[in-house]
Structure 1
């Protein structure tokens, strides 16, 4: 039986483990944290990722319900810029990261072994396999160890890696009852978005321009339109993370018997809500190519050919949306909002 080591047990890593298990691999998952699980807040799961999860037997990520209330983009005073209904946009499934993680790990079978509290410090490879920490050996290593991947750094020591976007993000879960369809509100160098999770709670996020490493609070959004103040008041814990993505051009997603997946390969800003979905799609593509009769090298090259161009485009698009949304100049903001409103009207007219 072919063997693989998956380094990192986030959404991408555990999906990769399940995908490899289903095509006949024996998998060892290494996680640095003391126990298996996922931290964070909400996550959007788009139809392409839902399809991969369904193919892997993951249950419970049902299709999103149609919005019963208006949603879209607003100004801080509550005035609509453009409504989602006018654009005919797709609606992703909104779910808590921990819940999605549990649904995926529920598919772990006897072919998957998990070792927690394990830190990878060294990786070597030759023509017959890959060795981790002079201790563990496998035919393949899947690096799903995040944006600051130790393995990516080991195989591409000259790569620049993460770069700061210029803004920080706040995230939280509010247990409140609101009569609102959600969406995003764009201000001057600040944004606030929220959506209902499938368990009924409200997931929200906000961004603000500031130097990297600066601790701050989300109270600045308390004067924005309802239900934003109510959402903030109903939140017990707020996470803050500076936003980074990976420098372009991306490095190849494979090097010998080592393959990069998820943020380790293509970390992107969260503006499109596609980061974790891309990791899920990576896992599905990797298993599909490995399931072919081709050699390991051919399969990994095919995976890179499929996934690197696609995720490069997403990084660029997400970066552009973030730059547009974080504009602080009031004149430029007014022009931006006017153009978006006009574009929304054009799309609505074409749809009808």
Structure 2
């Protein structure tokens, strides 16, 4: 049987990303036995930074990891949008944002993975375990994978935008769609302690972001309109320099501090809205359910919200299918709304027509700071279920 002899219930989480690790931690704290199946050979992702907003930090607080994360993170000090010559189009009062909604911190993605992985038993994660099938068998769920077959009372698909669980459970679900732009991500190879101004810079169909990290290194991302799978003939670092190397300071100097081999490139895809995140005893979570463009920085944060909400509902509702139905009712409208907001920001950020760019930039300069702050409220005012 899927349920253990000691009466505890068993969950299989597919995917050891941020949402999957948070789900396993939250369920374990509620008395579930958890097993994570991860197709990769290791847990974690290096080479990029991550913004944890107030809502994501509240989710981490709920599973007891918020303090550890804050110890290894750094509070955001600058925010806003400039044009390529360095003129500020809009600035965000980060102190007022923190007062209204809570703090925002930056952390190395690898450090967050390390904190979350250490919160679980050493044998909780099975690496190199690719899932090939998921199917209900009466009051349990059977998962077929490269290591054999496992059964559980609950299966959570937290396996990303190309989710094997989603494909198995909802074979007619829409496929991910290309957002129209590609992204480069990298971290400086050495500390850059004199960096003072971060934020984003918006150009014509291109933008660049700068985020200071706790060890004085700098996380950067460049985004540009592009056909999918189109690669620069001289490599990704050369393409990054070609596009952004003449933009305002400190972008050229920061690019000089990058190891060319450490530049990551990913085409940006998003998932069209699903009609449900659940089926019986199977739930989708994070990018598997609602992969969104990164324009609001909410992808990981929404996965954290999903995890603690799912665990809270399973803790208060005895019936797994009933708890999952409530999870779908609570999470799907919110995450799909935030995905739409993120999509709209991407549309504005990536206009390329010169007259439209001039209009966009003028509207940004004319928008009052308090209106910009209010625009964060739908994402940042979230609170965990009591």
TM interval, shorter chain, is over 0.9
Displaced runs of 4 or more, over 3 A: 63-66, 86-91, 344-350
Secondary structure of the structure 1 residue equivalent to 2:368: helix
Cα-Cα RMSD: 2.0
Q: What 5-or-longer segments of structure 2 have no aligned partner?
A: 1-7, 233-238, 375-386
Deviation (angstroms), 1:66: 6.0
Tell me which of 150, 153, 156 is aligned to 1:136: 150
- Say if 1:143 and 1:39 are closer, same or farther in 2 by CA, change over 3 A: farther
Query: Is the CA contact 2:51–2:297 (under 8 Å) kept in the aligned structure 1?
Result: yes
- Say if 1:233 and 1:137 are closer, same or farther in 2 by CA, change over 3 A: same
Tell me which of 113, 129, 138 is aligned to 2:124: 113
Deviation (angstroms), 1:179: 2.9
- Say if 1:348 and 1:269 are closer, same or farther in 2 by CA, change over 3 A: closer
Give, in whole Å, the separation in 1 of the partners of 2:337 and 2:126. Answer: 35
For residues 149-188 of structure 1, what are the structure 2 equivalents within 5 Å? Answer: 149-174=163-188, 175=190, 176-188=192-204
Tell me which of 297, 312, 318 is aligned to 2:336: 312
Per the normalisation by structure 1, the TM-score is 0.93
Tell me which of 224, 227, 243 is aligned to 2:268: 243
Asked if residue 74 in structure 1 is aligned to residue 105 in structure 2, the reply is: no
Query: Is the CA contact 1:87–1:347 (under 8 Å) kept in the aligned structure 2?
Result: no
- Say if 1:228 and 1:29 are closer, same or farther in 2 by CA, change over 3 A: same
Deviates more, 1:316-325 or 1:47-56: 47-56
Deviation (angstroms), 1:136: 0.6
Give, in whole Å, the separation in 1 of the partners of 2:48 and 2:364. Answer: 29
Match for residue 4 of structure 1?
11
Give, in whole Å, the separation in 1 of the partners of 2:219 and 2:93. Answer: 21
Give, in whole Å, the separation in 2 of the partners of 1:261 and 1:61. Answer: 22
- Say if 1:202 and 1:349 are closer, same or farther in 2 by CA, change over 3 A: closer
Match for residue 104 of structure 1?
116
Match for residue 321 of structure 2?
297
Give, in whole Å, the separation in 1 of the partners of 2:321 and 2:120. Answer: 27
Match for residue 339 of structure 1?
363
Deviation (angstroms), 1:290: 0.5
Deviation (angstroms), 1:114: 1.6
Q: What 5-or-longer segments of structure 1 have no aligned partner?
A: none
Q: How many residues align?
A: 346
Deviation (angstroms), 1:181: 2.5
Tell me which of 49, 63, 75 is aligned to 1:65: 75
Match for residue 4 of structure 2?
none
Match for residue 255 of structure 1?
279
Match for residue 192 of structure 1?
208
1:2-56 deviation line (CA, Å, top 9, x unaligned): 0000100011111111011000000111010112223451111111111111221
Secondary structure of the structure 1 residue equivalent to 2:37: strand
Match for residue 256 of structure 2?
233
Give, in whole Å, the separation in 2 of the partners of 1:66 and 1:92. Answer: 6
Per the normalisation by structure 2, the TM-score is 0.85
